[in-house]
């Protein structure tokens, strides 16, 4: 049904529209995953001289801003071929990984990050914080991998 919407039809009918939207989606994901992984690597112990809270203040707006690009482009890409995506196990896996990454981020922010003052600069992050960000990296690599597999010819 969503495939009958005008925007979905336009995505299928105009030769360059689908690739242009897909490129915007990929750029958004690049910014999101790049900023998340940079933060995660800091929590894992890279560049301990950079305060974790300062890095979070720098990168969080980029992560949130990228969602303003990712969500609408993803919805339009989905609308163009909804029936195909709904039957695709890789797409379902990608959505599940995104959900898991979101839950993991929420748990990190409401758990280990609440004690960040104690390990902000020059200190090793607590084990739960390091496990959470390591999982974050794995989940986002999975999301990106699924996205690439979905785009297979």
String of DSSP letters for the chain: -GGGSHHHHHHHHSTTHHHHHHHHHHHHHHHHHHHHHHHHHHHTTTTTTS-HHHHHHHHHHHHHHHHHHHHHHHHHHHHHTHHHHHT-HHHHHHHHHHHHHHHHHHHHHHTGGGGGGGGSSSSPPPHHHHHHHHHHHHHHHHHHHHHHHHT--
pLDDT at 101 over 80: yes
Where residue 1 falls among pLDDT bands split at 50, 70, 90? confident
pLDDT at 8 over 70: yes
How does pLDDT run across 108-144, given as a tens digit for each residue? 999 999 999 999 999 999 999 999 999 999 999 999 9
Where residue 153 falls among pLDDT bands split at 50, 70, 90? low
Where residue 147 falls among pLDDT bands split at 50, 70, 90? very high
Residue 151: what pLDDT? 83
pLDDT at 60 over 80: yes
User: In the chain, pLDDT over 70 holds for what percent of residues?
Assistant: 99
Poorest-confidence range of 8-12, 52-56, 93-97?
8-12
Residue 25: what pLDDT? 96
Q: pLDDT averaged over the chain?
A: 95
The mean per-residue pLDDT over the stretch 80-88 comes to: 94
Cβ proximity of 3 and 80 under 8 Å: yes
């Amino acid at each position: 049904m969503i495939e009958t919407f005008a925007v979905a039809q336009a995505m299928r009918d105009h030769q360059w529209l689908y690739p242009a939207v897909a490129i915007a989606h990929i750029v958004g994901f690049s910014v999101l995953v790049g900023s998340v992984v940079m933060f995660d690597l800091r929590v894992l112990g890279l560049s301990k001289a950079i305060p974790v809270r300062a890095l979070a203040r720098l990168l969080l707006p980029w992560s949130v801003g990228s969602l303003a690009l990712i969500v609408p482009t993803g919805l339009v890409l989905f609308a163009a071929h909804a029936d195909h995506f709904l039957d695709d196990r890789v797409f379902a896996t990608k959505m599940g990984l995104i959900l898991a990454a979101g839950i993991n981020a929420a748990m990190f922010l409401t758990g280990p990050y609440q004690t960040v003052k104690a390990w902000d600069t020059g200190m090793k992050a607590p084990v739960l914080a390091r496990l959470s960000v390591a999982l974050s990296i794995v989940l986002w690599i999975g999301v990106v991998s699924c996205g690439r597999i979905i785009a297979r010819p």
